[in-house]
Copies of this chain bind each other. A is one copy, B any other.
Amino acid sequence: MSLVKQVMDEVNQVMGLIDESQLASAEQLIQKDKRIFVLGAGRSGLMAKGFAMRLMHIGYTVYAVGETITPSIQAGDVLVAVSGSGKTGSILEVVEKAKADGVKVVAVTSNAESPLGKLGDTTVVVPGATKAGDGVKSIQLLSTLFDQSVHITLDILCLMLSRRDHVSNDTAKATHSNLE
C-alpha cells in the first residue's frame, strides 16, 4: 500500500472519531463580540495560529499568545488551547491562570482525561497519536497524526462559524493579508 494511502487511512480513522457535538459546543463559545486568544507549543502552536488566521479572515477579533500585539487576557475572553498530550507545562500554566481570571477555555487535545482536557469549559477531543503515545496508533513520527487531525478539525470549526455568520469566500478574501 502506498505511503499516501497508509497515512490517509490514519487521518480518516481519527477524523471518524471526531464528535461534531463537541465542535458545536466550541462554536457556541466563539462569538464576534468576544476576543479569542489561541495558544499552543511547537507544531500545535502552528495549528493554533492557522486557526487564528482563518478566524481573522472571517471577521473575529483574535490574538495568538506570544505575538507582538497580543494584549492582556481578561474575564469574558475565550482561550483556545491546543496540546496533544494535554500535559504541556507552559500551556497548562497559562490556561490555569486564564481560567482563574474568568476566561472561557476551549481545550483541544487527544485525551479528554488529561489535565488540559479537564480544564476546558468545552473540550474537543482529536484522538490522533501524540508524542505521549495517546490516541490512534500511527506509523508517523511524534505527534504528526494529531497535528494533521487538529488542523482539519479546526478548519471544520471555521467552516461552521463562517456558515453561521454568513461569511462568503469573497468577504474572507477581502480581509486576507494583501501584503504578500
Contact = CB atoms under 8 A, between A and B. Distances in A.
Interface of A: 2-4, 7-8, 11-12, 15-16, 18, 20, 39, 41-43, 46-47, 49-50, 52-58, 62-73, 88-91, 93-94, 97-98, 101, 131, 139-142, 144, 147-148, 151-152, 155-156, 158-160, 162, 167, 169, 172-180
Given A3-B20, A42-B53, A141 B156 contact: no
Contact of A20 (B4, B12, B58, B88): B4
A41 B69 CA distance: 13
A46 to B, nearest CB: 5
B172 A142 contact: yes
Secondary structure of the A side of the interface? Answer: helix
A93 B39 CA distance: 18
B56 A71 contact: yes
Given A64-B68, A90-B180, 6 more contacts: A7-B156, A42-B176, A43-B50, A54-B144, A56-B68, A141-B167
Nearest to A168: B141
A89 B42 contact: no
B66 A69 contact: no
Contact of A93 (B18, B49, B89, B167): B89
A16 B167 CA distance: 30
